[in-house]
Amino acid sequence: MRKQEKKGQALVEMALVLPLFIFVIIGIFDFGRVLHCWGTLNYQCVRAARVSTRRINPLLTGSAMIPSAFPTLTETATTFNQYRSPMMTATNYLDQNAATYTDEDGNTIAVPVLFSHSGIGTASPTVEIRAAYKLDMITPLIGTLVGGENSPGAITIHAYASESKE
């Protein structure tokens, strides 16, 4: 009786399990990217809302909700863009607008506004910031399974922040 070799069996088992293992690893990587983008987008909204509700001059009366007492849309957009992750490209934000302001030298500068808002520059007592980001998945099968409203293989992440003016 000859001793049987099991080298071929191990190779077949590895060929069956290795694609599943790689799929799980890349799926974990995609989940981490989604979690990172959602956390960053949420933080951007919160920081922009906080900046836009802080009174420029604290000596003004608390009941005066005049628009000139609070930061402008360009200052809010600058703060929102300041906290953007390098992984999140500006072209994948779903709300694409621009606001302009004039600097000390008289130059007109355009600031991208990558969110929708209400209450900035108005007499409203609250400010609401909404943002949405389209994230392309790396794993083709997961992207197909959870493909969102924009395109197959991409999901849309939403964030919202609401703050009361001081």
The residues facing 158 across adjacent strands are: 132
User: CB-based contacts of 77: which residues, under 8 Å, 6+ apart?
Assistant: 48, 99, 111, 112, 113, 114, 115
pTM greater than the 0.75 cutoff: yes
**Positions of E strands within 103-153:** 108-113, 116-118, 126-136
Tens digits of pLDDT across the chain (166 residues): 666 666 678 888 888 999 989 888 988 998 999 999 999 999 999 999 999 888 776 666 666 666 677 778 888 888 999 999 999 998 999 888 877 777 777 778 788 888 888 888 887 888 999 999 998 888 767 767 766 665 777 888 999 999 988 7
Taking a C-beta distance cutoff of 8 angstroms, is the pair 118, 128 a contact?
A: yes
What residues does each domain of the chain span? 7-164
Residue with structure tokens 């590895």?
Answer: 14
Length of the chain: 166
